[in-house]
Structure 1
Amino acid sequence: MRLTVISHLTLDGVVQSNGKPEPELNDGFEQGGWQVPYFDDDMAELTTGWIAAADGFLMGRRTYELFVGHWAKISDPNDILATRLNEQPKYVVSTSLARVDWNNSTLLQDDVFDAVAHLKDQPGNELQVHGSGSLVQTLMERELIDEYRLLIHPVVLGNGRRLFAEGTTPTALELVDTKTTSRGVAVHTYRPSGRPRYGAVALEQEGDVVKEAGNRPTS
């Protein structure tokens, strides 16, 4: 299975509390729910298609608790999102949960990243990660992510937890698809393409044309 990350970000990279406030975090962030004004039919169609294509879901504790608190209560067979989320395998990474009761859920506590690598070796389409920012950052460090679907919302918050925070492993990405919703959310699909490459720009002596003067890979 291909490990695919689906994440909602602001223009300044914030991922925290996109769907609702999280006062229990007690970290001073007061702008929760910033994603809600950008929900539209385009986003619903994209999300439904992605989840319908998933053969499993990987999530951290907070995302698990958010999802099970909503989707596990929906039993309508015509609700594609609820049906897929309730029926498909779910793998929950947590050191604080004692058990996971949602149907077809497995708690991952020991040798987590070996377990994720093993899941990726299984047949199937996508193992999807929704939200779960801290988990995604660790998966990035282990170079386990095959694809990013980043939904960039046209809003700047100025503070909050960021997906690509200081200390993130340097990674070059290849843009493989892009879409835009009716409310201005840019949906970019990227795949890792190795380490970043670096160069320099210089002015030609004649015409003052800016050009790239070399391109060197990282060691």
Structure 2
Amino acid sequence: MTELTVTTFVSLDGVMQAPGGPDEDPSNGFSCGGWLVPFADADMGNFINRVFERVDAFLLGRRTYEIFAAHWPRVTDENDPVAGRLNSLPKYVVSTTLEKAEWNNSTIISSDVVEEVRRLKARPGRELQIHGSGALARSLMAHGLIDTYHLLVFPVYLGQGARFFPDGGAPTAFRPTETSTTSTGVVIHTFQPTGPAQYGSFALDPAE
């Protein structure tokens, strides 16, 4: 069985939109693109490299795929721990609008996404990784298909933009398996879902 993992960057208010640059995703008037860049450091890079060491294939939404496909083929060092794997390993892009995916070793999934992902997970291997791809991740969350979440929480409040966890999603409990902090204050959490959220109360028993 292959583990499905998601790695994403979020602000303190849960925004994941356009972390890497102002032109990455300005949809819905988002004006804070590039909010990750001031916090990038060697600690963050080392964590991402460790994540990429475990990957056998990538599962990407259309927008993230197009951003990656415009950038990473230009990084031609085969020994680069990120570019080397992105450029060579299988990439499955979920899209109903793309007619072709020309980046090396790319396959379009245009229908029966949940069943296709289940089929990919049933293969022997290490990790099938989602990076970014918020809409795709949210749809797979709803079906309980994501096994591990790597959330890199950046010390910045944005007040606008698409959030990673949607309103109206199924309340879910998580078990933390790893936490670290980078030199710039990015807190890296690794979580695994454990089932429905549980509830309680601190209210005192009524006086007799």
TM-score, normalisation: structure 2: 0.95
- Report how many aligned residue pairs link the two structures: 206
* Per-residue deviation, 1:96: 0.8
| Aligned mates of 2:145, 2:8 — CA distance in 1 | 16
- Flag the 1:195–1:91 CA change in 2: closer, same or farther, 3 A: same
Equivalent residue letter for 1:129: I
What SS does structure 2 have at the residue aligned with 1:65?
Answer: helix
Equivalent residue letter for 1:127: L
What SS does structure 2 have at the residue aligned with 1:42?
Answer: helix
Corresponding residue number in structure 2 for 1:127: 128
Tell me which protein shows more strand as a share of its residues.
Answer: 1
Question: 1:129-173 deviations in whole A, cap 9, x for unaligned?
Answer: 000001110000111000000000011111111111211221111
| Aligned mates of 2:159, 2:205 — CA distance in 1 | 39
Equivalent residue letter for 2:71: H
Structure possessing the higher relative contact order (Cα contacts under 8 Å, 6 or more residues apart): 2
* Per-residue deviation, 1:26: 4.0
What SS does structure 2 have at the residue aligned with 1:201?
Answer: coil
Corresponding residue number in structure 1 for 2:110: 109
Query: Does the 8 A contact of 2:174 with 2:192 survive in 1?
Result: yes
Corresponding residue number in structure 1 for 2:177: 176
| Aligned mates of 1:32, 1:109 — CA distance in 2 | 29
Greater shift, 16-25 or 168-177, is seen at 16-25
* Per-residue deviation, 1:203: 3.9
What SS does structure 2 have at the residue aligned with 1:37?
Answer: helix
Query: Is residue 72 of structure 1 aligned with residue 73 of structure 2?
Result: yes
Identical columns (%): 49
Larger CA Rg, structure 1 vs 2 = 1
Corresponding residue number in structure 1 for 2:140: 139
| Aligned mates of 1:110, 1:78 — CA distance in 2 | 35
| Aligned mates of 1:59, 1:24 — CA distance in 2 | 15
| Aligned mates of 2:185, 2:118 — CA distance in 1 | 35
Alignment of 1:25-40 (within 5 A): 25-40=26-41
Root-mean-square deviation (Å): 1.6
Alignment of 1:35-54 (within 5 A): 35-54=36-55
- Flag the 1:102–1:23 CA change in 2: closer, same or farther, 3 A: closer
Equivalent residue letter for 1:166: D
Structure 1 unpaired stretches of 5+: 206-219
Equivalent residue letter for 1:145: I
Corresponding residue number in structure 2 for 1:210: none
- Flag the 1:50–1:69 CA change in 2: closer, same or farther, 3 A: same
Corresponding residue number in structure 1 for 2:152: 151
TM-score, normalisation: structure 1: 0.90
| Aligned mates of 1:167, 1:204 — CA distance in 2 | 32
- Flag the 1:24–1:120 CA change in 2: closer, same or farther, 3 A: closer
* Per-residue deviation, 1:74: 2.0
* Per-residue deviation, 1:21: 2.0
Structure 2 unpaired stretches of 5+: none
What SS does structure 1 have at the residue aligned with 2:130?
Answer: strand
| Aligned mates of 2:178, 2:26 — CA distance in 1 | 35
Equivalent residue letter for 2:11: T
